[in-house]
């Protein structure tokens, strides 16, 4: 495995990314946005390093991205950072030896970021990318209504408020909604309303487009348990679920 740490990806921020690459060329690249409620960093935490290793063993490159967070960031700076990171990776793929294909994924706040990139096209369009260029999206326990800390820091609202506005991926689901392929992962004992938010999103997408390539998997445990706690076999449930889906979709 080739590993490159703390690569600067944008002149607009001081954040960086870590890239884990297979030895062989011709790989698909997975871009991962960590969780943490938009208030904590985590691109190099132990679980993500382990998850990166699992993807590399399967022949994927894995890129873990840091982005600006509260209280220093303001909406939509963290989304703009995420878009800039994807653009950097897309540009770098030929030099790294990749096949040009990108999968975007994230956990919790990172999953919310991923959905915002997917559904509100202006963020990726601003860096010269059409969301339909992304091969697939793996969304691990996203808040599909307005993110609770965006509500807190931007509007001063209670974090448990359920809002569908420009801070919510759900807001952008309409007759024009299109993406390549998407897997939603959420949990039996997830955060308050998270199960219902994801089911609302899933059913809303299909209401507008019955042919949308979207599916979901409900995993045991609490919020993001599948990407933070290993199963008895030593692997994360998020990883196993993602690999099954990637194989099924030939990604």
Q: What tens digit of pLDDT does each residue of 151-210 get? A: 999 999 999 999 999 999 999 999 999 999 999 999 999 999 999 999 999 999 999 999
Can you give the pLDDT at residue 64?
98
Mean pLDDT of the chain: 97
Query: For the segment 68-126, what is each residue's pLDDT rounded down to a tens digit?
Result: 999 999 999 999 999 999 999 999 999 999 999 999 999 999 999 999 999 999 999 99
Q: Which residues pair with 138 in a beta bridge?
A: 105, 183
* pLDDT surpassing 90 at residue 251: yes
| 177 exposure class (CB count in 10 Å sphere: 0-12, 13-18, 19+) | middle
- Other Cβ atoms within 10 Å of 248 Cβ, number: 11
Confidence of residue 139 (pLDDT cuts 50, 70, 90): very high
- Assess whether the previous peptide bond of 71 is cis (omega < 30° from 0): yes
Interval 212-219 mean pLDDT: 98
Any idea which residue has 């990172």 for tokens? 110
* pLDDT surpassing 90 at residue 146: yes
Any idea which residue has 């998270």 for tokens? 194
Report all structural domains of the chain as residue ranges with CATH numbers, in order of start.
2-248 (3.40.50.1820)
Can you give the pLDDT at residue 243?
98
Cα separation of 93 and 88, whole Å? 9
Q: Residue count of the chain, please give it.
A: 251
Question: Which are the contacts of 165, defined by CB distance < 8 A and separation ≥ 6?
Answer: 146, 171
CB 51 within 8 A of CB 227: yes
Query: For the segment 26-73, what is each residue's pLDDT rounded down to a tens digit?
Result: 999 999 999 999 999 889 999 999 999 999 999 999 999 999 999 999
CB 225 within 8 A of CB 237: yes
* pLDDT surpassing 90 at residue 128: yes
DSSP codes, the chain:
-EEEEEEE--TT-S-EEEEEE-SSSSEEEEEEE--STTS---TT-HHHHHHHHHHHHTT-EEEEE----TTT--TTHHHHHHHHHHHHHHHHHHHHTEEEEEEEEEETHHHHHHHHHHHSTHHHHTTT--GGGS-EEEEES---SS-HHHIIIII---TT----STT-GGGG-STT---S-EEEEEEEE-STTHHHHHHHHHHHHHHH-TT--EEEEEEEEETTGGGTSB-TTSSBHHHHHHHHHHHHTT-
Can you give the pLDDT at residue 42?
86
Interval 204-225 mean pLDDT: 97
């Amino acid at each position: 495995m080739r590993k490159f740490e703390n690569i600067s990806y944008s002149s607009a921020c001081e954040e960086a990314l870590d890239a884990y690459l297979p030895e062989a060329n011709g790989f698909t690249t997975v871009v991962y946005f960590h969780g943490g409620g938009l208030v904590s960093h985590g691109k190099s935490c132990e679980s993500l390093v382990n998850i990166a290793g699992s993807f590399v063993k399967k022949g994927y490159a894995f890129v873990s991205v840091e982005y600006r967070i509260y209280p220093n960031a303001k909406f939509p700076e963290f989304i703009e950072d995420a878009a800039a990171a994807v653009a950097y990776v897309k540009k770098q793929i030929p030099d790294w030896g990749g096949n040009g294909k990108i999968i975007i994924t994230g956990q919790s706040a990172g999953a919310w970021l991923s959905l915002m990139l997917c559904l509100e096209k202006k963020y990726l369009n601003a860096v010269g990318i059409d969301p339909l260029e992304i091969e697939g999206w793996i969304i691990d326990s996203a808040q599909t209504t307005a993110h609770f800390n965006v509500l807190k820091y931007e509007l001063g609202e209670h974090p448990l408020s359920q809002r569908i506005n420009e801070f919510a991926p759900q807001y952008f689901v309409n007759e024009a909604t299109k993406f390549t392929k998407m897997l939603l992962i959420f949990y039996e004992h997830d955060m308050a309303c998270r199960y219902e938010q994801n089911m609302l999103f899933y059913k809303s997408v299909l209401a507008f487009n019955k042919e949308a390539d979207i599916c979901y998997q409900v995993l045991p445990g609490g919020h993001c348990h599948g990407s933070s706690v290993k199963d008895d076999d030593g692997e994360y449930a998020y990883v196993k679920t993602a690999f099954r889906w990637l194989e099924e979709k030939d990604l």
